[in-house]
């Protein structure tokens, strides 16, 4: 510095040169910043991991919503079915993914149950929630048309008289697993609980006579009801469904057990808030305002129901507490 001060002319030249250089750098940084702010997420296709097999209600609901969200986001949403371990194989893949917004998981309450039942050491709170999109109150128990019981009350009565004789399909650690534990606890019935895989696998098992009862979404098996191949024993809701007014609730039949299934979307931890918000806002637009989507999804006997990340977290906190208490009471 002292050398520069002793050579005034050189000093002025150097300072002027540095000033020009700094100004140029500042201009470049400003330009880069503007470009960063102007760049729009998403700029590439988004992989949607469905932790369930193709053909089930999770897969169907996700593909339906993704189809409409592509119009809002302007990119493709590519569905990847990743089965295994009650859904935990798929959720763990997303949990460990780069938090860049280009991989998201679409799942439901089973993520909570995976943790409660000991399949995972993480839960919904470890992800960046994008929100809830669908509410399913059509959870039902299906049997073949030839079954000797026509409703849940008769099925429970038979199961109590014949402990372990009623083979009920589920997937260990999944949503229907806790339903069965809760109903056994409530009624004193004893089922033979069979791990038959995902939704489509359980339906195949029932059609093939490998199991007697399949807990599933009523909207998913509507065609089998209409064809006379299956019948519903009731739904695990507080009220009958408008779409199936003749199907009674379990509560009506003296079985005080209800379950709603909420379908959520979540990103890996540390995904930028602006990315999550962009995705969530697109979801809100479709679920709330797109009448074509609302009509299509409602035809599956589920409800289009948007909740933003904060609302979703609150509901899942309450649900997690309920499931935890319920599981503890069945142990």
Peptide bond just before 42 cis, omega within 30 deg: yes
Is the pLDDT at 135 greater than 80? The verdict is yes
Fold classification of 139-253 (topology level): D-Maltodextrin-Binding Protein; domain 2 (3.40.190)
Tokens of 48: 């949607």
- Predicted confidence at residue 199, as pLDDT, reads 85
Alpha helices, DSSP H, located in the chain: 2-6, 8-38, 57-73, 88-95, 110-116, 152-161, 175-187, 199-207, 222-227, 273-289, 291-298, 309-330
Percentage of the chain modeled with pLDDT above 90? 81
Q: How far is CA 160 from CA 148, 149, 155, in A?
A: 15, 13, 9
pLDDT tens track for 294-310: 999 999 999 999 999 99
Residue 22: what pLDDT?
40
Closest CA to 129 of 116, 112, 148, 154: 112
What's the CATH number for 46-135+260-330?
A: 3.40.190.150
Band (pLDDT 50/70/90 cuts) for residue 314 is: very high
The ranges of the chain annotated as CATH 3.40.190.150 are 46-135+260-330
- Listed in order, the ranges of the chain carrying CATH 3.40.190.10 are 139-253
Task: Let me know: does 262 contact 134? Beta carbons within 8 Å.
Answer: yes
- Is 80 exceeded by the pLDDT of residue 254? yes
pLDDT 10s digits, 105-130: 999 999 999 999 899 999 999 999 99
Structure tokens at 84: 């295994």
Report which DSSP code applies to 251: G
Confidence of residue 330 (pLDDT cuts 50, 70, 90): confident
d(CA 98, CA 269): 9
Q: pTM of the prediction? A: 0.82
pLDDT at 25: 45
Could you tell me the CA-to-CA distances from 215 to 123, 179, 198, 218, 235 in Å, in that order? 23, 8, 11, 9, 10
Mean pLDDT of the chain: 89
Q: How far is CA 86 from CA 20, 89, 113, 178, in A?
A: 62, 8, 9, 12
- Please report the pLDDT score of residue 258 as a whole number: 95
Render pLDDT for 275-293 as a digit per residue (tens, 0 to 9): 999 999 999 999 999 999 9
Q: Which of 106, 120, 80 is nearest to 261 (CA)?
A: 106
Calpha distance 297→200 (Å, rounded)? 19
At 48-58, the pLDDT tens digits run 999 999 989 99
């Amino acid at each position: 510095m002292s050398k520069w001060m002793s050579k005034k002319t050189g000093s002025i030249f150097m300072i002027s040169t540095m000033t020009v250089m700094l100004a140029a750098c500042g201009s470049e940084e400003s330009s880069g910043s503007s470009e960063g702010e102007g760049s729009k997420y998403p700029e590439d296709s988004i992989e949607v991991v469905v932790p369930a097999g193709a053909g089930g209600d999770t897969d169907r609901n996700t593909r339906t919503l993704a189809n409409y969200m592509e119009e809002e986001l302007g990119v493709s949403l590519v569905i990847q079915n990743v089965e295994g371990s009650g859904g935990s194989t798929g959720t763990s893949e997303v949990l460990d993914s780069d938090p860049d917004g280009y991989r998201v998981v679409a799942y439901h309450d089973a993520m909570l149950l995976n943790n409660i039942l000991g399949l995972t050491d993480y839960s919904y709170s470890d992800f960046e929630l994008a929100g809830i999109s669908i509410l399913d109150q059509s959870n039902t128990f299906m049997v073949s048309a030839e079954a000797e019981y026509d409703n849940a009350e008769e099925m429970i009565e038979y199961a109590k008289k014949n402990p372990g004789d009623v083979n009920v399909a589920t997937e260990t650690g999944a949503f229907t697993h806790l339903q069965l534990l809760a109903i056994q606890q409530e009624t004193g019935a004893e089922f033979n609980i069979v791990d038959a895989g995902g939704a489509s696998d359980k339906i195949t098992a029932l059609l093939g006579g490998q199991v007697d009862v399949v807990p599933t979404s009523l909207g998913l098996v509507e065609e089998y009801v209409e064809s006379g191949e299956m019948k519903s024993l009731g739904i695990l809701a507080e009220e009958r469904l408008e779409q199936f007014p003749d199907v009674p609730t379990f509560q009506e039949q003296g079985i005080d057990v209800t379950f709603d299934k909420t379908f959520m979307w979540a990103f890996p931890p540390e995904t930028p808030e602006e990315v999550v918000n962009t995705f969530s806002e697109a979801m809100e637009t479709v679920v709330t305002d797109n009448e074509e989507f609302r009509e299509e999804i409602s035809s599956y006997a589920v409800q289009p129901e948007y909740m933003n990340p904060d609302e979703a977290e609150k509901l899942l906190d309450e649900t997690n507490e309920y499931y935890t208490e319920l599981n503890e009471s069945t142990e």
